[in-house]
Amino acid sequence: MSTFSDYKKEIMDAAHDERIGLALSRAIKSYRTNTGNALKKFPHTIKLAEEVREIKSKAIDRMEELAHQAGAAIEENKGKAYYAKTAAEALEIISGLVGKGKLIVKGKSMTGEEIGLRHHLEHIGNEVYETDLGEFIIQKLESKPAHILSPAIHVPKEDVAKLFSRITGEDLPAEIAKLVATARKLLREKFFAADIGISGANVVAADTGTMFMIENEGNIRLSTGAPPVHIALIGMEKLVPTLTEAYKVSEVTWRYANYTVPSYVSLVSGPSKTGDIEKVTTYGAHGPKEVHVVFLDGGRTELAKHPILRQVLFCLRCGGCLYECPVFAVTAGHFGDKYFASNGAVWAGMIDKDREKAAAIAYTCLTCGRCKVRCPMKIDSPEMIVALRKLLAEGE
- State the sign of the Cα–Cα–Cα–Cα dihedral 133, 230, 80, 249: positive
CA distance 48 to 179: 37
User: How far apart are CB 364 and ligand SF4 at their closest, in Å?
Assistant: 8
Query: Given the rule CB under 6 A, which of 85-93, 138-146, 204-212, 312-320 is the region that contacts ligand SF4?
Result: 312-320
Taking the least distance from each CB to ligand SF4, the nearer of 102 and 374 is 374
Number of shown-chain residues binding ligand SF4 (CB under 6 A): 29
Does residue 369 interact with ligand SF4 by CB under 6 A?
yes
Intra-chain end-to-end CA distance of the chain, in Å: 21
Taking the least distance from each CB to ligand SF4, the nearer of 93 and 322 is 322
Name beta bridge partners: 81.
Answer: 293
Does residue 318 interact with ligand SF4 by CB under 6 A?
yes
CB 169: neighbour CB atoms within 10 A?
A: 7
Residues 347-366 that bind ligand SF4 (CB under 6 A): 365-366
Report yes or no: 127 and 153 within 8 Å, Cβ to Cβ. Answer: no
Task: Please name the residues in contact with 354: beta carbons below 8 A apart, sequence gap of 6 or more.
Answer: 337, 348
Query: Given the rule CB under 6 A, which of 177-185, 195-203, 210-218, 317-325 is the region that contacts ligand SF4?
Result: 317-325
Query: Given the rule CB under 6 A, which of 198-206, 222-230, 318-326, 352-360 is the region that contacts ligand SF4?
Result: 318-326
Taking the least distance from each CB to ligand SF4, the nearer of 60 and 315 is 315
User: How far apart are CB 369 and ligand SF4 at their closest, in Å?
Assistant: 5
* Residue of 34, 143, 301, 367 interacting with ligand SF4 (CB under 6 A): 367
Interface map 228-267 toward ligand SF4 (x if CB under 6 A): ----------------------------x-----------
User: How far apart are CB 377 and ligand SF4 at their closest, in Å?
Assistant: 5
Taking the least distance from each CB to ligand SF4, the nearer of 11 and 321 is 321
Report yes or no: 324 and 330 within 8 Å, Cβ to Cβ. Answer: no
* DSSP β-ladder status, 229-235 and 239-240: unpaired
Does residue 371 interact with ligand SF4 by CB under 6 A?
yes
Alpha carbon 281 to its chain's center: 34
Does residue 315 interact with ligand SF4 by CB under 6 A?
yes
Report yes or no: 35 and 27 within 8 Å, Cβ to Cβ. Answer: no
Instruction: Please choose, from the candidates 134, 139, 174, the residue with its C-alpha nearest in 3D space to the C-alpha of residue 152.
Output: 134
Report yes or no: 104 and 121 within 8 Å, Cβ to Cβ. Answer: yes
Measure the CA angle with vertex 139, ends 134 and 143; round to 5°.
95
User: How far apart are CB 342 and ligand SF4 at their closest, in Å?
Assistant: 4
Report yes or no: 292 and 97 within 8 Å, Cβ to Cβ. Answer: yes
Interface map 374-393 toward ligand SF4 (x if CB under 6 A): xxxx-x-xx-----------
Contacts with ligand SF4 by CB under 6 A lie at: 256, 315-321, 324-327, 341-343, 365-371, 374-377, 379, 381-382
